[in-house]
């Protein structure tokens, strides 16, 4: 089976072109290919598939095999793949996801996609702003935002010293979130700049999360911490997020990189 390894601001996935390949048990395959010692190594598996509603379809699976509704970094890489490999012959197109159809716009450099802007849709506030919560005997406040998948945003004085490996599971699986949640830990630098670490549902700490960066920007704008355009600095790079308050839509712009291509035998993983 052929695959392509891609990353968006360090959020890395194994991509399979299902216009050419057939994946029968993607949940199992996601666990195998994501293993960084015995597999290829990634935050999950993304299938690039035909769609009856859009130019292509993205199916995204976390490293634990659970299927997710949407992935902001992943969809930028899907956009780059279908553009660079001429599956889609235009610089604006639609991608079907479990969170709905997303519109993408490509910035071309030398015939290849470099930056990609994604219309992330209209965010949904999922609780009080802010909402109190007790986790492991300590009180916090968070802002709940859905970008088609769930996010809980926590503001911290500093984030570098957080032990997310120890903290993350309790935040992800708290009873307030019956389907688990992605948790974003935010340090506000100024009114146009956030720093963020993320504990992703089903994958643990990752170097970036596009939907999480988008949700965090929305939460920061809603709570009066930033302007309507903000740069979100993640471990793997910077994403630019703009919330058009008139239309309600949020736009994410960032890079997508093809790292390498290869082949593997699923039976050997």
Annotate 215-224 with b (16+ C-beta within 10 A) or e (fewer): bbbbbbbbee
Query: Token digits for 23?
Result: 């994946």
Helix 210-222 and helix 72-84: axis angle, to 10°?
Answer: 130
Q: Is 182 annotated in some ligand binding site? A: yes
Q: How far apart are CA 147 and CA 166, in angstroms?
A: 26
Quote the DSSP letter at residue 91. S
Query: Token digits for 129?
Result: 């702003």
Do residues 38 and 23 make contact, with C-beta atoms less than 8 angstroms apart? no
Q: Is 138 annotated in some ligand binding site? A: no
Q: Is the dihedral of CA 250, 187, 196, 134 positive or negative?
A: negative
Query: Token digits for 175?
Result: 């009873």
Q: How far apart are CA 176 and CA 189, in angstroms?
A: 29
Q: Is 200 annotated in some ligand binding site? A: yes
Q: Is 97 annotated in some ligand binding site? A: no
Q: Is 73 annotated in some ligand binding site? A: yes
Do residues 205 and 139 make contact, with C-beta atoms less than 8 angstroms apart? no
Query: Token digits for 252?
Result: 């994410």
Q: Is 229 annotated in some ligand binding site? A: no
Q: How far apart are CA 174 and CA 159, in angstroms?
A: 21
Partners of 93 in beta bridges: 104
Q: Which active-site residues does the annotation give?
A: 71, 209
Q: Is 62 annotated in some ligand binding site? A: yes
Q: Is 201 annotated in some ligand binding site? A: yes
Do residues 212 and 198 make contact, with C-beta atoms less than 8 angstroms apart? yes
Alpha helices in the chain, H assignment, sequence order: 26-34, 72-84, 164-172, 210-222
Q: Is 149 annotated in some ligand binding site? A: yes
- Residue numbers belonging to the annotated binding site: 11, 62, 72-73, 149, 182, 200-201, 210-211
- Residue numbers belonging to the annotated binding site for substrate: 11, 62, 72-73, 149, 182, 200-201, 210-211
């Amino acid at each position: 089976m052929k695959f392509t390894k891609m990353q968006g601001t360090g959020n890395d996935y194994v991509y399979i072109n299902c216009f050419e390949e057939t994946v029968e048990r993607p949940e199992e395959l996601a666990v195998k290919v994501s293993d960084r010692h015995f597999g290829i190594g990634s935050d999950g598996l993304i299938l690039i598939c035909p769609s009856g509603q859009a130019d292509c379809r993205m199916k995204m699976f976390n490293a634990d095999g659970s299927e997710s509704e949407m992935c902001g970094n992943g969809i930028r890489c899907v956009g780059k793949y279908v553009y660079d490999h001429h599956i889609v012959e235009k610089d604006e197109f639609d991608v079907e996801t479990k969170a709905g159809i997303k519109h993408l716009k490509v910035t071309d450099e030398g015939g290849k996609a470099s930056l990609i802007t994604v219309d992330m849709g209209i965010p949904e506030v999922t609780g009080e702003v802010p909402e109190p919560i007790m986790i492991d005997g300590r009180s916090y406040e968070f802002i709940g935002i859905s970008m088609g998948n769930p996010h809980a945003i926590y503001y911290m004085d500093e984030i570098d010293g957080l032990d997310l490996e120890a903290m993350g599971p309790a935040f992800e699986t708290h009873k307030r979130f019956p389907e688990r949640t992605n948790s974003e830990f935010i340090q506000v630098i100024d009114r146009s700049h956030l720093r963020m670490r993320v504990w992703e549902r089903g994958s643990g700490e990752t170097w970036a999360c596009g939907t999480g960066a988008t949700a965090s920007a929305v939460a920061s704008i809603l709570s009066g911490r930033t302007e309507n355009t903000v740069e979100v600095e993640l471990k793997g790079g910077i994403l630019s997020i703009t919330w058009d308050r008139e239309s309600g839509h949020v736009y994410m712009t960032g890079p997508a990189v093809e790292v390498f291509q290869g082949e593997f035998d699923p039976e050997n993983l």
